[in-house]
Amino acid sequence: MSRSAIALTVVMLTAVGFSGCGGEDSSDSSADDAATVAIVAANNQVIAAAKSGSAADFCDLIAPSQIKKIFGGRDCEDLVGPLLKSSKVRAAQFEIERVLVEGDTAGVQYKSREGATTFVKEDGKWYLGSLEP
């Protein structure tokens, strides 16, 4: 992913505003319910990191398996830091409409935005799976 593409996706994600509100699950299973709670918590951590402008915290929330794919060997903090500091995160602007869990992958859909933000579970923890809006 090029530096400009990384910049665009980070700015889009932070400008659109990750939601700190609750979500709902498309299934009745308790495993999916527990995953939904964990994903909403991970989503809230992403919001907090973006609002604080902490590139270190933000980069720690991206799935370890995705860091090289997204940043191509470049330093996440060096690329994301200036973008977070220049963005105004409006966490309350969009609410989670639905959390769709499929095994170790989940899509978070927001009420005021098309598409979904991907989260992935690695080593028992949910992470931001991509910077694609």
Contacts of 128 (CB under 8 A, 6+ apart): 42, 46, 61, 62, 63, 66, 117, 118, 119
Beta-ladder partners of 126:
121
pTM over 0.85: no
What class, spelled out in words, does domain 3-128 have in CATH? alpha beta
CA–CA separation, 110 and 38 (whole Å): 17
pLDDT in tens, 32-50: 789 999 999 998 898 888 8
What is the pLDDT, as a whole number, of residue 132?
Answer: 64
pLDDT in tens, 87-105: 766 555 547 889 999 999 9
- Nearest 5 degrees, angle CA 114-CA 115-CA 121? 145
What is the pLDDT, as a whole number, of residue 6?
Answer: 55
Q: Is the pLDDT of residue 109 over 80?
A: yes
Give the residue, 123 or 70, on which the prediction is more confident: 123
CB atoms within 10 A of CB 21: 15
Q: Which residue has the tokens 């604080």?
A: 52
CA–CA separation, 102 and 8 (whole Å): 28
Give the model's confidence band at 17: pLDDT under 50 very low, under 70 low, under 90 confident, else very high.
very low
Rounded percentage of the chain residues whose pLDDT exceeds 70: 71
CB atoms within 10 A of CB 44: 15
Contacts of 57 (CB under 8 A, 6+ apart): 45, 48, 49
Domain residue spans in the chain?
A: 3-128
Structure tokens at 33: 């319910």
